[in-house]
Amino acid sequence: MTDDLSPTDRAKFAAARRAADLVEDGMRVGLGTGSTAAWLVRCLGEAVAAGTRLTGVPTSRRTAELAREVGIEVVTLDEARWLDVTIDGADEFDGALNLIKGGGGALLHEKIVATASDRMVVIADAGKAVETLGAFPLPVEVIPFGWQTTRALIEEALAGLDVATREITIRTNGAAPFVTDEGNHILDLHLGRIGDPHRLSAALNALPGVVENGLFLDICDTVVVGHGDGRAELRDLDAAAPAQAGGAAGAVSRDLDD
């Protein structure tokens, strides 16, 4: 029962459950990566068990494994060709529904899948809402060859951009650099505040060695914000005011595996 969950996990589940209601029979759905997206996959698995037909395109190996485990048909993006909706988490979102993503290390696949969809829906707890992006470290995926040179190029580029701080760290997995599903590394940019996300994104992606960055700009259509009391609030760029869905969140059959 969700009474056993922390307020944060209860909020994540509330957002995931509400987002799952947006998936209609026969849809092709992009499946995000991370703890909140894992709730969504489990909710969709229960819908499949109840008779809903859907096809999932996972954004990581671990999401693919979970989707198969709960009975969702998994295909590649090339097989699906185009998606009706992608539902994913976010590390931050602002009032214009711009995002920082990549805390789970799958930002490249996540951005490709999201932009191959008619609609992107983000699920998040209320703590992910910010006035200005940048408090969460910005992930930048880089190729392993010459990554320290790429880091130096990023440092040079940041010197001319509107950010509060400019610390860069390489993400690790134990003593070794973290490796993405595409075999790349991730540099985390500790910027504090990003004054011009569009300019920063363009500057980063113009650098040799950079594969992609975690700024998702003008991609997200709707954010479903979960609250610890079980409410879920929809923030939509096309809506005049947020809509809410209340009530205590119900149970799912498995515990979240972070």
Residues linked to residue 54 through DSSP beta bridges, in sequence order: 27
- Whether 82 and 109 map to the same domain: the answer is yes
Confidence at 244, pLDDT banded by 50, 70, 90: low
The answer to whether residue 110 is catalytic is yes
Assess whether 44 and 106 both reside in one domain: yes
Q: Do 85 and 152 fall within a single domain?
A: no
**Is residue 22 domain-shared with residue 148, that is, in the same domain?**
no
pLDDT tens, residue by residue, 133-161: 999 999 999 999 999 999 999 999 999 99
Residues forming a β-bridge with 86: 30, 120
For 37, 51, 153, 199, 203, the CA distances from 162, given in Å and listed in that order, are 32, 51, 16, 9, 12
Catalytic residue among 110, 141, 212, 233: 110
**252 domain-assigned:** no
Note down the domain range covering 74: 2-129+218-245
Q: Provide the pLDDT for residue 4.
A: 85
For the chain, the average pLDDT equals 92
Report pLDDT digits (tens) over 70-86: 999 999 999 999 999 99
103 marked among binding-site residues: yes
Query: Quick one: average pLDDT of 92-99?
Result: 97
Please check whether residue 256 lies inside any domain of the structure.
Answer: no
Same domain for 168 and 68: no
The annotation status of 111 as a binding-site residue, yes or no, is no
Structural domain count, the chain: 2
User: Could you read off the pLDDT of 185-233 as tens digits, one per residue?
Assistant: 999 999 999 999 999 999 999 999 999 999 999 999 999 999 999 999 9
Task: For residues 33 and 91, state if they share a domain.
Answer: yes
Is residue 90 domain-shared with residue 169, that is, in the same domain?
no
> Do 122 and 147 share a domain, yes or no?
no
pLDDT of residue 2: 60
Check whether residue 181 and residue 201 sit in a common domain.
yes
User: Which two tokens mark 92?
Assistant: 């931050």
Task: Specify whether the CB–CB gap between 31 and 59 falls below 8 A.
Answer: yes
